[in-house]
Amino acid sequence: NNFTAVKTELASFSERLAAAQGNTEGNFLETFWTPDVQSSIKQFLPVNELKVAFSAGLTDSGIVGPFDKETTLTFTKIIANIGQGYNSSAGVFTAPVRGLYFFSFTAADYLKGYMGLYLYRNDEPIIFSLELNDHGGYASITSALALQLDEGDRVRVALPASYRLYDDSRNFSVFSGFLLFPV
């Protein structure tokens, strides 16, 4: 029965967790949340029960950029990461199943100049949002879309060369996504 199999897999997972005490959370995920473990757990879950959602703030340190070249942003302040699809070290979401996903991002700045972001599926730019802050006060942009992904497709947000953003503990700049339904 599926429940017993999932329970057995989780017990094994718990034993490995207990053995890994002292590891940081990032090392734990890299070490134990392997594709084999994910695949084992997914095979016991009906696809309609798979839950995938994430939301992450950019940073607490203020201005990000400008950079000399386009840079993938690493939204490191995890607000939610159900299903562990978002990798905050790389700034990349990887689709665990083929499906229709919803993504949004918001970016802010308070200095005069350009701010903007690309959203990529794999290496293909899907959206570019741009704002010229010519008044020097807080300004923000938000974009959202539904995007069909295949299992293993990667979605990321990138800051163009010479652009900048602002974020602090109030989460002005956020990247979010979730699975609407499998296809």
Percent of the chain, pLDDT > 70? 74
Tokens at 139, concatenated: 């300004």
Percent of the chain, pLDDT > 90? 54
Q: Using one digit for the tens of pLDDT, what is the confidence trace for 69-98?
A: 999 999 999 999 999 999 999 999 999 999
| pLDDT score for 69 | 98
What does the alpha-carbon distance between residue 28 and residue 34 come to, in Å, rounded to a whole number?
Answer: 10
Q: Using one digit for the tens of pLDDT, what is the confidence trace for 101-147?
A: 999 999 998 888 888 999 999 999 999 998 888 887 888 899 999 99
